[in-house]
A = this chain, B = another copy of it.
Amino acid sequence: MMIDFYEHFPQLKVELEETRSFILTQVTLRNKEIELALNDMILSGGKLLRPAFFYLFSSLGNKEKQEADQLLKIAASLELLHMATLIHDDIIDDSPLRRGTASVQSQYGKDIAVYTGDLLFTVYFDLIAETMENSGFLHKNARAMKRLLLGELDQMKLRYNPNNTVKEYLCSVDGKTAELFALSCLEGAYFGFSSEQTQQLAERIGRNIGIAFQINDDILDYTSNSSALKKPVLEDLCQGIYTLPLLLAMEQAPEIFLPFMNKKQTITIQESAVVAELVKEYHGVEAAFHIATNYTNKALQDIRQLPESVEKQQLLHLTRNLLNRNN
């Protein structure tokens, strides 16, 4: 999957392969069982989107001043933070699959998953401590990580609540997904020695891409099938996480949806499938796609303001691709 996705970005592909190899060297553990679980996860074909945006933004800057080793470690830190949160999310969600292979918690139990996620936090943290001293970015990372977790906690608090609003949804997404995309782009611009203006644009672009990405992801939960998505569909719905397509469909006809929502945890898989059909019937998917497109367009507009370069074209290309994906 990864190789296809970056076929038009040969330089980036090399950088991401290097990032992945480097991450593998960072998770050598005396506990071989966990090392294996992490290796599986690393090699199972994630797109390394956060390192990808980081690298594209770094290449907009002053290449003479850049240090390849520093950039590699920062790219890896972003993916490691993402992986750590994925592992902990899967504990919460009780998710059996992740990237098409068994999640750490389904394979080894919640216990090991808690510590494995924590271990990745320490690796992440060691890498940024090594590469970001005196930049103010250690604090920025801590703040981003905190917002990310608060976004997850917000989402949990809103579970099985049929009165969720679109605003609450967007606030949670801004934390749990957009924050790390924003940080990735900002760090790329900063550690690539771009101008202040590019740095500001980068953070905003990352945030809008992140929101669009998450909405798109939530749409796929309604439109995809399990084999393409490589994770169970309608997972969120069964777990009481009401995402944008459902929230928008409900605005059209609350009386149709409320009887299902009021079943809360007792909703069956069959009923969930009915709700999913209703979401499409009441144009929830189209409306969500429309909002995602707005965020993508904001990002594209900002990208167009970046200094002219090959990388700018690649950013436009990659950002457009990301919203047309079906997995």
Contacts and interface: CB of A to CB of B under 8 A. Distances in A.
5 contacts: A31-B150, A91-B110, A91-B114, A112-B153, A115-B149
Interface in A102-141: 110-112, 114-115, 117-119, 121-123, 125-126, 129-130, 133-134, 138-139, 141
Interface of A: 29-31, 33-34, 88, 91-92, 110-112, 114-115, 117-119, 121-123, 125-126, 129-130, 133-134, 138-139, 141-143, 145-146, 149-150, 152-154, 156-157
A276 B134 CA distance: 54
Given A122-B146, A142-B125, A142-B126, A115 B31 contact: no
Interface of A is mostly: helix
B121 A92 contact: no
**Which among A110, A143, A154 has the greatest number of chain B C-beta atoms within 10 A?**
A110
A114 B87 CA distance: 11
Given A122-B142, A139-B130, A142-B129, A112 B156 contact: yes
A142 B118 CA distance: 11
A116 to B, nearest CB: 8
A238 to B, nearest CB: 15
Contacts of A31: 150, 153-154, 157
A114 B85 CA distance: 10
B112 A88 contact: no
Nearest to A143: B126
Nearest to A111: B92
A76 to B, nearest CB: 14
B118 A149 contact: yes
A139 B134 CA distance: 14
A122 B110 contact: no
B133 A145 contact: no
Contacts of A141: 125, 129
A174 to B, nearest CB: 13
Contacts of A88: 114-115, 118
Contacts of A154: 31
A114 B138 contact: no
Contacts of A153: 31, 34, 112, 115, 119
B150 A30 contact: yes
A143 B139 CA distance: 19
